DNA sequence: AAAAGCGTTGTAAACGCTTACTTTTCGAAG
DNA sequence: CTTCGAAAAGTAAGCGTTTACAACGCTTTT
């Protein structure tokens, strides 16, 4: 190793110099840059962050030195020093079951991924990175990573209630937390969710007003999921207001997956009770499985049974029959969550505690309506704008 | 603020003490823990990491203090001190186009997400977190986040060639890099990819041997994508070896999306040239769009044209007709990538430079074969085992 | 009974950066 | 040609850990 006397930095310099054939064994630091540029480390730091006054000539010297050394600031040291990490954590429910590959692959088609993408894009736009953290009983590392997160990220976005209220409150005492798809009643954190009530109401009305149904069914998502619970409750109340029947036997338990929907419908078909005229499903994947099971039993959709989904994922537009569904923008959900979190980080105060995003009924053929004339690729604009609710 | 003389830590202690009504304004540090437990910070650190010898009684005192203070080690400080961050970076191509929601939503159904999930699960199992980083021209933050990553993560996984060879080499001089879905010829980094050659060969053979086709077509993925290029090239060579025709007019350009596949097929249908007997598509989404366009033109699949996909995403099993495709395990891809990266981090040397994962032909109805009797949910086990290739 | 050895604990120096505070520099005014 | 003041640059003290090294018992050995 080669050291300039009184020189604290590493030997990265030797790469450029001709004093020996030493190999770089670590990244250059601001000490290296400072030495090469002939200034102090404070000046290097200032040039780097362009906060305070650095004379243009000096700045250039520093920037040249940085480029020559291929200097990249160590963001960890930065974080330690400034307390700011420029990292946002995204916690989601890991549904993988042991060695069951399917669970991961199916789950990956869930809305979660779209949310993650939206969040990542928005985070990047704000200058943040996104740290992913799967959690849940089935997750290999359990809850541990979550706790350590508080020292790594500036804020946390939690999908689909990974924690109970108490834990969230605990967490949000340490760092800002945004809850996604929660029930929206948490006092501890900001909540972002879609308008399940409005969605299921418009769906119920459509079934009643347009298709004059008298008896309906519902296929749920994963047990205990706030979105699934909200969708079922909203659907039921809207349906019952309309004087239509939602019998217990027609409430099927699924788990957000196609396989779950298929299984639930197969089991329902073994029962003696006559089928309702329509099954509203908690998401699109479930609807796909439900339709498959109905077809397998020789029933036609929509001639014999009507089916609807929720989410409007791209692929189901190409299905036969094209799926009637509720459109929500998953990426918007992620984006808004990040925006809210960043706003909290900046102001440390946000006027709004709950943000409710709009949904939109998309009528296609699976509910018995006429085929649309456009190509599936044409139809993708959300027409409604976000609603804000303060509480 | 309240300070014990000579006490360096913050005032988090006051929460528990009864000397005042001060509010916690920051997280407790090992100084707080050390003081409360009546030991030095070194002992706290040792108890925390359980590396060297700490007397059980002492350890207990420390652990109790930690619990009482709800101490969570600051991983950033840890990272600075030890040089280890326990974070892996995952760089992917951000395909979002400006305000076009569809691009994100469709893209999110791509295989990428499954890979990410697999990587996250495996990373967690190794004790690492996953830092997501979208990159590409369309990404809001451009390339900048990528460069800063080198100071944040211990290793990098790059999906689908975000960078050119030179940049990868540059990066991998700083930290270990694993390339996913690359061409596998990078000397700078470890590569993990699927066996596109074997896959397309078996597909071609099936078409030729079982369905006796004389003329075939291909629908590509996004231009320049290594996987798409490899699939097209392999398919062509296998097809031509069999003496079957793949005309230029039957090579359609798409972009991995359903809309792209639909558009490509619509354009093809306006041409005068007779259709080939089969279209092999670069992925499942594309195949779905292709089938849609064929149906819209009054053509039947598989009676009039055969179609195949690639990936075996769950939803297309529920399609009409169920899609003949090549199964690959996206989550395995992510898992293996993480394993390789972690191994590199541990040994700083890995025997294998390229890892090729197996694929499997899954014959369903879209290629004209008979319907399977099982439920789609039943069929999901990979039968082959990973192949390792050293170079 | 003193020395040696060993297991435990403490002290203090990094790690690479930011930033409050201090010193130097430089140009304009006196 | 000083003097003064602001602007620019430097000094050094953290940020919260880890860890090499020193110090301190205690038991064991001679």
HSE, CB side, 13 Å, CA atoms: give it for residue A15.
18
In chain A, residues with a C-beta closer than 8 Å to the C-beta of B331 are: 96, 101, 104-105, 108
Closest of A161, A219, A213 to residue A188, by C-alpha = A161
In this structure, are A122 and A233 located in the same domain?
no
Rounded to whole angstroms, the Cα distance separating A229 from A220 reads 8
Measure A31 CA to D3 C1' (Å).
36
Rounded to whole angstroms, the Cα distance separating A264 from A282 reads 13
**Cβ of residue B48 lies below 7 Å from strand D:** yes
Rounded to whole angstroms, the Cα distance separating B307 from B262 reads 13
CATH of the domain at B119: 3.40.50
Please state the domain count of chain A. 3
Q: Which domain holds residue A68?
A: 11-73
Q: Which residue has the higher pLDDT, A186 or B77?
A: B77
Quick one: pLDDT at residue B347? 74
* First vs last C-alpha separation in chain B: 62
**Cβ of residue A80 lies below 7 Å from strand D:** yes
The interface residues of chain B toward chain A in range 149-168, judged by CB-CB distance below 8 A, are: 149-152
HSE, CB side, 13 Å, CA atoms: give it for residue A293.
23
For A356, the enclosing helix (H) or strand (E) is strand A354-357
In this structure, are B126 and B262 located in the same domain?
no
Residue B17 reports pLDDT greater than 50 = no
Average pLDDT of span B311-331: 89
If DSSP codes are grouped into helix, strand and coil, which group holds residue A308?
A: strand
In this structure, are B255 and B171 located in the same domain?
no
Quick one: pLDDT at residue A9? 52
Rounded to whole angstroms, the Cα distance separating B96 from B81 reads 38
Cβ proximity of A390 and A352 under 8 Å? yes
Residue B180, strand partner residues: B159, B192
Instruction: Answer yes or no: is A241 within a domain.
Output: yes
pLDDT classification of A185: cutoffs 50, 70, 90: low
Chains A, B: CB pairs < 8 Å: 264
User: Which of the 8 DSSP states describes residue A18?
Assistant: S
Residue B101 reports pLDDT greater than 50 = no
Instruction: Answer yes or no: is A290 within a domain.
Output: yes
Q: Which residue has the higher pLDDT, B11 or A32?
A: A32
Lowest mean pLDDT among A100-104, B134-138, B222-226, B264-268: A100-104
In chain B, residues with a C-beta closer than 8 Å to the C-beta of A263 are: 377
In this structure, are A217 and A321 located in the same domain?
yes
Average pLDDT of span A100-118: 66
Quick one: pLDDT at residue A379? 54
Query: What proportion of chain A, given as a percentage, has pLDDT over 90?
Result: 50
Residue with tokens 């791209």: A314
Residue B315's Cα: distance from chain center in Å?
19
Residue A286 reports pLDDT greater than 50 = yes
A224 min Cα distance to partner chain B (Å): 22
Is-cis flag, bond preceding B321, omega within 30? Answer: yes
Closest of A265, A219, A250 to residue B376, by C-alpha = A265
Q: Which residue has the higher pLDDT, B107 or A160?
A: A160
Instruction: Answer yes or no: is A111 within a domain.
Output: yes
The interface residues of chain B toward chain A in range 166-185, judged by CB-CB distance below 8 A, are: 170, 173-174
Angle between helices A284-296 and A258-270 (to 10 degrees): 40
What average pLDDT does chain A have? 82
Instruction: Answer yes or no: is A81 within a domain.
Output: no
CATH of the domain at B261: 3.40.50.2300
Measured between CA atoms, the residue of chain A closest to residue B102 is A380
Q: What is the pLDDT of residues A349-373, one digit of tens each?
A: 666 788 899 999 999 999 999 877 6
What average pLDDT does chain B have? 82
Cβ proximity of A251 and A271 under 8 Å? no
Quick one: pLDDT at residue A20? 31
Query: Does B129 contact chain A (CB < 8 Å)?
Result: yes
Average pLDDT of span B292-312: 95
In this structure, are A140 and A180 located in the same domain?
yes
Instruction: Answer yes or no: is B1 within a domain.
Output: no
Q: Which residue has the higher pLDDT, B77 or B94?
A: B77
In chain A, residues with a C-beta closer than 8 Å to the C-beta of B73 are: 148, 151
Cβ proximity of B120 and A130 under 8 Å? no
Q: What is the pLDDT of residues B180-231, one digit of tens each?
A: 876 666 777 889 989 999 999 999 999 999 999 999 999 999 888 889 999 9
Query: What proportion of chain B, given as a percentage, has pLDDT over 70?
Result: 79
Q: How far from B126 is each of A99, B123, B129, B355, CA to CA, in Å?
A: 16, 5, 9, 20
In this structure, are B364 and B259 located in the same domain?
yes
* First vs last C-alpha separation in chain A: 63
Q: How many helices (H) and strands (E) does chain A have?
A: 13, 13
In this structure, are B106 and B143 located in the same domain?
yes
Instruction: Answer yes or no: is A383 within a domain.
Output: no
In this structure, are A179 and A233 located in the same domain?
no
Residue A3 reports pLDDT greater than 70 = no
Closest of A109, A118, A113 to residue A357, by C-alpha = A118
Measure B76 CA to C12 C1' (Å).
21
pTM score of the predicted model = 0.86
Quick one: pLDDT at residue A202? 96
**Cβ of residue A245 lies below 7 Å from strand D:** no
Closest of A326, A330, A323 to residue A288, by C-alpha = A323
In this structure, are B19 and B140 located in the same domain?
no
A116 contacts B132? CB cut-off 8 A: yes
Lowest mean pLDDT among A171-180, A293-302, B337-346, B374-383: B374-383
Rounded to whole angstroms, the Cα distance separating B322 from B273 reads 28
Residue B280 reports pLDDT greater than 60 = yes
Rounded to whole angstroms, the Cα distance separating B128 from B120 reads 8
Query: What proportion of chain A, given as a percentage, has pLDDT over 70?
Result: 79
Out of A284-288, B12-16, B327-331, the most confident range is A284-288
Instruction: Answer yes or no: is A120 within a domain.
Output: yes
Q: What is the pLDDT of residues A244-278, one digit of tens each?
A: 999 999 999 999 889 999 999 999 999 999 999 99
Average pLDDT of span B74-81: 91
In this structure, are A190 and A201 located in the same domain?
no
Quick one: pLDDT at residue A95? 61
Percent helix, percent strand, percent coil in chain A, to nearest 5: 40, 15, 40
If DSSP codes are grouped into helix, strand and coil, which group holds residue A243?
A: coil
A380 contacts B102? CB cut-off 8 A: yes
Instruction: Answer yes or no: is A388 within a domain.
Output: no
Token pair of A314, please? 């791209």
Cβ proximity of B215 and B262 under 8 Å? no
Is-cis flag, bond preceding B302, omega within 30? Answer: yes
Quick one: pLDDT at residue B185? 67
In this structure, are A211 and A342 located in the same domain?
no
Residue B22 reports pLDDT greater than 60 = no
Cβ proximity of B261 and B293 under 8 Å? yes
Residue B152 reports pLDDT greater than 60 = yes
In this structure, are B239 and B262 located in the same domain?
yes
| Closest Cβ–Cβ partner in B75, B79, B140 for A124 | B140
Question: Which nucleotides along chain D are within 7 A of a protein C-beta?
Answer: 7-12, 14-20
CATH of the domain at A30: 1.10.260.40
Quick one: pLDDT at residue A376? 67
Quick one: pLDDT at residue B329? 87
Token pair of A119, please? 């969040």
Residue B2 reports pLDDT greater than 80 = no
A273: left (phi over 0), alpha (psi -120 to 50) or beta: beta
Quick one: pLDDT at residue B19? 33
Lowest mean pLDDT among B51-55, B159-163, B228-232: B159-163
pLDDT classification of A14: cutoffs 50, 70, 90: very low
Is-cis flag, bond preceding A302, omega within 30? Answer: yes
């Amino acid at each position: 190793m080669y050291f300039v006397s009184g020189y604290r930095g590493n030997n990265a310099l030797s790469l450029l110099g001709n004093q020996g054939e030493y190999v770089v064994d670590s990244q250059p630091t601001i000490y290296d840059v400072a030495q090469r540029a002939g200034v102090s480390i404070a000046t290097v730091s200032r040039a780097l962050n362009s906060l305070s006054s650095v004379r243009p000539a000096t700045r250039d010297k520093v920037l040249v030195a940085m480029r020559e050394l291929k200097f990249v600031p160590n963001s960890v040291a930065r974080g330690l020093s400034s307390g700011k990490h420029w990292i946002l954590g995204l916690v989601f429910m890991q549904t993988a079951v042991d060695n069951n590959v399917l669970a991961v692959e199916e789950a990956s088609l869930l809305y979660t991924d779209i949310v993650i993408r939206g969040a990542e894009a928005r985070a990047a736009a704000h200058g943040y990175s996104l740290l992913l953290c799967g959690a849940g009983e089935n997750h290999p590392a359990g809850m541990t990573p979550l706790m350590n997160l508080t020292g790594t990220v500036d804020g946390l976005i939690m999908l689909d209630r990974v924690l109970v209220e108490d834990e969230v409150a605990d967490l949000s005492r340490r760092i800002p937390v945004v809850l996604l798809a929660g029930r929206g009643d948490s006092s501890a954190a900001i909540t972002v969710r879609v308008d399940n009530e409005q969605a299921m109401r418009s769906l119920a009305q459509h079934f009643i007003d347009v298709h004059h149904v008298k008896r309906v069914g519902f296929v749920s998502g994963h047990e205990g999921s706030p979105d699934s619970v909200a969708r079922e409750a909203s659907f039921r109340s809207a349906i019952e207001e309309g004087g239509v029947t939602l019998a217990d036997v027609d409430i099927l338990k699924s788990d957000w997956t196609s396989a779950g929907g298929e299984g639930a419908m197969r089991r329902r078909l073994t029962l003696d009770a006559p089928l309702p005229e329509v099954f509203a499903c908690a998401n699109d994947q479930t609807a796909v499985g439900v339709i498959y099971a109905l077809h397998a039993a020789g029933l036609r959709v929509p001639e014999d049974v009507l089916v609807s989904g929720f989410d409007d994922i791209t692929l189901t537009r190409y299905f036969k029959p094209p799926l009637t569904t509720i459109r929500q923008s998953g990426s918007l959900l992620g984006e808004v969550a990040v925006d809210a979190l960043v706003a909290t980080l900046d102001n440390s105060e946000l006027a709004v505690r709950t943000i409710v995003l709009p949904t939109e009924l998309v009528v296609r053929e699976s509910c018995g309506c006429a085929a649309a004339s456009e190509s599936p690729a044409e139809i993708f604009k959300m027409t409604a704008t976000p609603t804000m609710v303060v509480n």
